[in-house]
Chains A and B, each alone.
Chain A
Amino acid sequence: MDILISGLLLGGTYVLIAMGLNLQYGVARIMNLANGEMIVLGALASFWVFTTASVSPIFTVVLIFPVALLGNWLVYRYLLIPLVRRAKNQGQLEVDSILATFGMSFILVGIVVSINGEYFTYSFLASPFEVLGSTVALNRLVAFVFAVVIALVLYLWLNRSRAGMAVRAVSVNSASARLVGINVEKVSALAFAIGGAVTAVAGVLISTFITLDASVGVMFTMKALIIVIMGGVGDIRGAIIAALILGLVETAVATLIDPGLTLAAAYLIFLLVLLFRPQGLFGKPQT
C-alpha cells in the first residue's frame, strides 16, 4: 500500500514534468531541451517570492501561469517560427530545434546562475499526512492533486473544445490540418505556450519538496523526454500512464529491491517498452 501511494505521488510529479513537453513536442514538434530549465525557473520564482515575501507557492502557481504562457508564446513566435518555416522536413526541424533549445537551456542556466547559484530550498507543507494508512508528505500530495487537475483540464480542453480539437488535428497531421483551414502556426504557438506554462507551474510545485539549483534542469529534461517518448508522441494519455508507471516502478524497486537501482529500473522499463512497442505506449505506428 505504501508502495502504491508513494509510487502514485511520484508518478504525479512525473506527470507534471512531462505534460508540458508532451504538448510542445506532440503538437508544435519542438523537442524542447530547455524544458528542465523552465522547471528551474518556476522553482526559482517560487523560492524567491516565498523567502522574500512569504508568498505561498499555491499563489505563485496562479501568478506564474500567465507569465510563463506569454514568455513561451514569445519564444515560439520570435525564435522558433523562423526555424519551422525554414525546415524542409520534419528531420530538419528536429535537428534545428534540438540545437536552438539546447542553446536556450544554456542561456536560462546562465541567467538563473547569475540570479542565484545556491540551492533553492524552503519548507512548505512539509508535514505528514495520512492517506489510507500510509504517511505521505502533504506538499507531494498537493502537487499530485494539481497534476490530476491540470491533466483533467487539459484532457477535457483537448477533447471537448474547438481550440482543443484544432490542437489535436495539428498533432495528428499538420498538413491536413492546414487544408481544413486551421492556422497551424497559431495553434502550434498556443500549444507551445501552454506546454511551457504547465512546465513552469510544475517547477513551482516541485520546488516545495525537491531541492533544486540552477544546473539541475537537464535531469528533468531527460526524465521528461523519456516519459513523452515512452507514452507515445502527441498523446496526453500516454504521457500520464508512462509517468505513473515510472513512479510506481521506481518506488517498488526502491522499497523491495534496492534504492540504488531505482533510476536504472526506470530506464530499463522505458527501454523494454520501446523494444516491444517502438512507437511508445499510445503512439501511432510510423509510416
Chain B
Amino acid sequence: MNAASVKNLSIAIVCIVLAALIPFVFNGYWLSIALTAMMYIALSTSWALFSGPTHYISLASGAFFGIGGYLVATGMSDYNLSFWLMMAIAAVVATVLAALIGMATLRLSGVYFVIFTLGLAEMIRNLVSWVQNNFLGSRGLYVLTDFTEAHIYWMLLTVSVIVFALGWVISQSRLGFAMRIIGNDETVARHVGINTAKAKVLLFMTTGFFAAIVGAIIAPRYSYIEPNLVFSPELSFLVVIMALLGGMHRLWGPLLGVIPFTLIWEAISIWLPNFTTLFLGLTFLIIVYFLPNGVVGLLEKLRARVAT
C-alpha cells in the first residue's frame, strides 16, 4: 500500500467516524436531513457503480427500492415475519430481478435502455398493486418497529460504507478495468476478450441489491406503506439527477451531488413553502447551465487552476 492510498484510506475512515457520530450531536431535524442524504448517497453511489462506467442510465431504482420497502411491509404486516428476514428476502428478489433485467436488456442501448427501465419499473408498480388487490389484500401495510431515526441512519451509513468499499474493490479489480473499457468502447472491449455481458449484468445486480436494501431500511421510517408511494418513479429520477449533479466518473462523485442537493432542496422548502417546486426547478436549471460537469467537474477545474 503506497502513501497516497494510506492517506485516502485515513480520510475515508475519518469521514465515516464523523458521519457515525452525527446522531449523537444532532437530533431531530438535522438528523432527518442527514438520514435523507444518507439514503440518497447509498442509492446514487450504488447506481453509479453500474451507470458511471457503462453510461447506461437506469430508471429502475424506484422498482428495486419499492421491492425492498414493499416486501418488508407485506412480510411484517401480513405474515408477522421479522424485519431482517424480509430484508434478506427482498435483497435476493431484487438481485434476481436485476439479473433478469440485465440479461434482457443487453441488446438495448442509449435512450432505449433508459425508457425500458422506466417502463419496467412502472410495470412492476402496477403488478404489485394488482397482486396486493387480488391476492394479499391486507388492511393496509403497517411497519411498526422500535427503530429510531438514529438506528435507521446507522443502517444506511453501513450500507453506504459497503457500497463505497465495493466500489473501490471493483475499481482495483479486473471487473473495474473491464467496465472502463466497455464505457469507452464496447466493441473494443469485446475484441480484447472481455465478457461484456457478464460484467454489465453483475454490476446491474449490485445496483438492484443495494436499492432493495435501502428500501427495506426506509420502510420502518414510513410506517405505512402504499405500493404507489414506495414504487415511486420520482425516486428513480432523483437518484439519477443527484448522481449526474455530482459527477459520475469518480466513485465519490454522487456523494458530492447528494449533499448540496439535499441542502438546497431543504433550504427552498423552508424559505418558500408555497413555491418549493417552482424554485427547485429554477435551481435545477442553474445547476445545468452553470455546473456542466457536475460538482466533481467544478472541483477538478478549480484544482487545475490552483495547480497552474
A and B touch in the complex (CB under 8 A): yes
Binding site for B on A (CB under 8 A): 25, 31, 33, 79, 82-83, 86, 90-91, 94-96, 98-100, 102-111, 113-114, 218, 222, 225-226, 228-229, 233, 258, 260-261, 263-264, 267-268, 270-271, 274-275, 278-280, 286
- In angstroms, how far is the closest chain A Cβ from the Cβ of B308? 23
B7 to chain A, nearest CB (A): 32
Collect the chain B residues with CB atoms within 8 Å of residue A226's CB. 115, 118-119, 122
Contact A271 B120 (CB under 8 A): yes
CB nearest to A227 among chain B residues: B115
Q: Please, which residues of chain A bring their CB within 8 A of the CB of B292?
A: 86, 96
Specify the chain B residue showing the minimal Cβ separation from A86.
B292
A residues less than 8 Å from B57 (CB atoms): 95, 98
> Do B111 and A264 have beta carbons less than 8 Å apart?
no
Q: Is the CB of A95 within 8 A of B116?
A: no
Complex contact A96–B130 (CB within 8 A): no
Chain A positions within 8 Å of B104 at CB level: 271, 275
Sorted nearest first, the 6 A-B pairs with minimum C-beta distance are A110-B278, A103-B284, A106-B281, A107-B281, A267-B123, A110-B277
Q: Does B13 contact A (CB under 8 A)?
A: no
**For residue B123, which residues in chain A have a CB less than 8 angstroms away from its CB?**
263-264, 267-268, 271
The residues of A that contact B133 with a CB separation of less than 8 Å are 260
- Which of chain B's residues have a CB closer than 8 A to the CB of A91? 55, 110
Contacting residues, chain B, for A270 (C-beta < 8 A): 119
**Cα distance A114–B279 in the bound complex, in angstroms:** 12
Neighbouring A residues of B240 by C-beta, 8 Å: 98
A96–B293 alpha-carbon span in the complex (Å):
10
Among residues 105 to 123 in chain B, which have CB atoms less than 8 Å away from a CB atom of chain A?
107-112, 115-116, 118-120, 122-123
Q: A95-B244, A263-B122 are in contact. List 17 more A-B contacts (CB 8 A).
A: A82-B289, A83-B288, A95-B57, A96-B288, A99-B241, A100-B288, A103-B282, A103-B287, A103-B288, A106-B277, A222-B118, A229-B116, A260-B130, A260-B134, A267-B122, A267-B123, A271-B123
B278, A107: Cβ atoms under 8 Å? yes
B interface residues (Cβ-Cβ under 8 A, vs A)? 55, 57, 104, 107-112, 115-116, 118-120, 122-123, 126-127, 129-130, 133-134, 233-234, 237, 240-241, 244-245, 274-285, 287-289, 292
The residues of A that contact B55 with a CB separation of less than 8 Å are 91
Which of B57, B119, B241 lies at the interface centre, i.e. has the most chain A CB atoms within 10 A of its CB? B119
Sampled A-B contacts (30; CB under 8 Å): A95-B244, A96-B292, A98-B244, A99-B241, A99-B284, A100-B288, A102-B241, A104-B285, A107-B277, A107-B285, A109-B278, A110-B276, A110-B277, A114-B278, A218-B234, A222-B118, A225-B115, A226-B118, A260-B129, A260-B133, A261-B127, A261-B130, A263-B123, A264-B130, A267-B120, A267-B126, A271-B120, A278-B107, A278-B109, A286-B109
Best-surrounded residue of B104, B118, B241, B288 (most CB of chain A within 10 A) = B288
Cβ-defined contact, B285 with A100, below 8 A: yes
Chain B residues with CB under 8 Å of A103's CB are 280-285, 287-288
Report which residue of A98, A108, A233, A261 has the largest number of chain B beta carbons within 10 angstroms of its beta carbon. Answer: A98
CA distance A109 to B278 in the complex (A): 7
Q: Are A229 and B112 in contact (CB under 8 A)?
A: yes
Closest CB in chain B relative to A263 CB, distance in Å: 4
CB atoms of A271 and B122 under 8 A apart: no
Q: Which residues of A contact B287 (CB under 8 A)?
A: 99, 103
The minimal Cβ–Cβ distance linking A12 to chain B, given in whole angstroms, is: 21
Which of B57, B115, B133, B274 has the most chain A CB atoms inside 10 A of its CB? Answer: B115
Q: Which residues of A contact B283 (CB under 8 A)?
A: 103
Tell me how far the C-beta of B99 lies from the nearest C-beta in chain A, rounded to whole angstroms.
Answer: 16
| Docked CA distance A278–B111 (Å) | 11
How far, in angstroms, from A78 to B285 measured CA to CA in the complex? 12
B129 near A279: Cβ-Cβ < 8 Å: no
Which A residues are CB-close (under 8 A) to B277? 106-107, 109-110, 113
* Most chain A beta-carbon neighbours within 10 Å: one of B109, B245, B276, B285: B285
| Min CB gap B188→A, angstroms | 15
Contacts of A108 in B (CB 8 A): 281
Interface centre among B112, B276, B282 (most CB of A within 10 A): B112
Q: How far is the CB of A179 from chain B (nearest CB, A)?
A: 24
Residues of B within 8 A of A100 (CB): 284-285, 288-289
Report yes or no: B126 in contact with A263, Cβ–Cβ below 8 A.
yes
**B123 to A, closest residue via Cβ:** A267
What's the minimum C-beta distance from B187 to chain A, rounded to whole angstroms?
11
Q: Closest chain A residue to B55 by CB distance? A: A91
Give A97's nearest chain B residue, CB to CB.
B288
Q: Is the CB of A111 within 8 A of B241?
A: no
Nearest-neighbour CB distance to chain A for B218, whole angstroms, equals 21
Residues of chain B lying within 8 A (CB to CB) of residue A83: 288-289
Shortest CB-to-CB span from A182 to chain B, Å, is 23
Which residues of B have CB within 8 Å of A225? 115, 118
Contact flag A105-B122 (CB < 8 Å), given A82-B289, A258-B130: no
Q: Which residues of A contact B278 (CB under 8 A)?
A: 106-107, 109-111, 113-114
